[in-house]
Structure 1
C-alpha cells in the first residue's frame, strides 16, 4: 500500500466500520440537532475548500421532497490519487474519522453551536449518500449506505467544472429552517427547494 501523509484522514483504509458504528450508537453526541447539524458538517468542508483556495466559494443547498438534501460546491473536488498499482484512491472522507476534529474536545463549533466532527457523521447517519466528485484529472461518483460504500468509484463524463456534490437522505429527523445557520466565512450559499 502506498503511504501518503495523513492530514485530515488516514489514507490507509477506505472504511472504518467501528468508527461508523460508534457514530450510529450515539447520534445525540455526534449530530445534536439532527439534520441541521448534518448539513452544517457538509458545508464546513466546502468552506475549508474555499479558504484553502484563497477565494470565496459558491455552494447550493437543495431540499428534495423525499427528504434528501444535495449540497454542491465549486471547489477543486475531493483529493484523488493513484496508488503504485494504478488504482484510483480517493481521500476517505465519508467512512473514516476526520483526524482534525472527531476526538478533539476543542473542535471548532459549527453555526449551530455544536462541535464539528467530520463528514463521516453525515454518511453514518444517512440511509444513503451519493458523493459526486469533479476534478481536473477526472470525475466520478460513489454511493454509500449508512456510511458503507456500496459501489466503486464510477467514472462520469466531465462537464468542464470542478467541485463536490454530497446528496444524502438522513436516517432520522426533519429539515428545519436552515437560513439562520447558513453562515460560513468563505462561502456564498444559496438555499433552494426542488420538488
Structure 2
C-alpha cells in the first residue's frame, strides 16, 4: 500500500487488503451458514447493496435477471462501487468481493435481509459462486473484473464509458446451490418490496 492509499479511511471494507483467503475459505466451507435459502439468499445479498445506494440517493432501481446457464445478474443505477486512484494513478476498487464487510462480521447484532437471515456481504456471493463478473461504472471511469470462488482472476479492466453509473454483478452459484434452487424469481420480486427506496424488476430467461 502506498502513501496515498494508506490515508484512506475504512468504512465498509479494509482498503489495506485485496483478498482475504481465510475469510473466503470459511464461507466456502459452510454454505448452509452463509447462504441459508441458497440462491435466493445470494441474490438478496447483492440487492442489499443496490438498496443501500437507493437509500443514500433517495431512490433507485435494479434489474435482476435469471439466465439459462443458472447464473444471475443484478444491475443497479447507483454511483458504482467506490474506486480511487493510488499515488501512481492506478485504479483501486474497494475490496467488496474478496474481503469481509466490516459492518457484518464480528458484530454481536446481525442485520437481517428480507428473508429473515443475517446479511453478511458481497464476499459471500463471490465465495459461493463458480464465477462472478463485476462491471462497475462511476463518474470517473468504468472497469470490469472477474472472480472465481471469490478470488480475482483479472485486474481491473477498463471499459468504455457509456454515460451511465451503477454496477452489474453477474454470478453463477456453485452447483449444489443451483441444484437446490426453488422458484427464486417469484420470491425475489416479493422480497424486494421490503426495500421501499428500491424499485425491482425481475427477468426470467429460463424455466424457474
Tell me the TM-score normalised to structure 1 length. 0.96
Which whole-Å CA distance do the structure 1 matches of 2:99 and 2:197 have between them?
A: 25
Q: How does 1:34-45 map to 2 (within 5 A)?
A: 34-45=38-49
Which whole-Å CA distance do the structure 1 matches of 2:71 and 2:105 have between them?
A: 24
Unaligned runs of 5+ in 1: none
Q: Which runs of 4+ in 1 moved over 6 A?
A: none
Residue 138 of structure 1 and its aligned partner are, at CA, apart by: 0.4
Higher helix content, 1 or 2: 2
Q: How does 1:88-127 map to 2 (within 5 A)?
A: 88-127=91-130
Q: How does 1:41-190 map to 2 (within 5 A)?
A: 41-53=45-57, 55-171=58-174, 172-173=176-177, 174-175=181-182, 176=184, 177-178=186-187, 179-183=189-193, 184-190=195-201
Unaligned runs of 5+ in 2: none
> Is the 1:102–1:116 Cα contact (8 Å) retained in structure 2?
no
- Judged with a 3 Å threshold, the aligned counterparts in structure 2 of structure 1 residues 105 and 26 are, in CA distance, closer, same or farther, namely farther
Which whole-Å CA distance do the structure 2 matches of 1:70 and 1:96 have between them?
A: 21
Please state if 1:191 is matched with 2:186. no
Residue 182 of structure 1 and its aligned partner are, at CA, apart by: 1.6
- 2:28 aligns with 24
Question: How many residues in Structure 1 have an aligned counterpart in Structure 2?
Answer: 194
> Is the 1:31–1:121 Cα contact (8 Å) retained in structure 2?
yes
Tell me the TM-score normalised to structure 2 length. 0.90
Q: Helix, strand or coil for the counterpart of 1:131?
A: strand
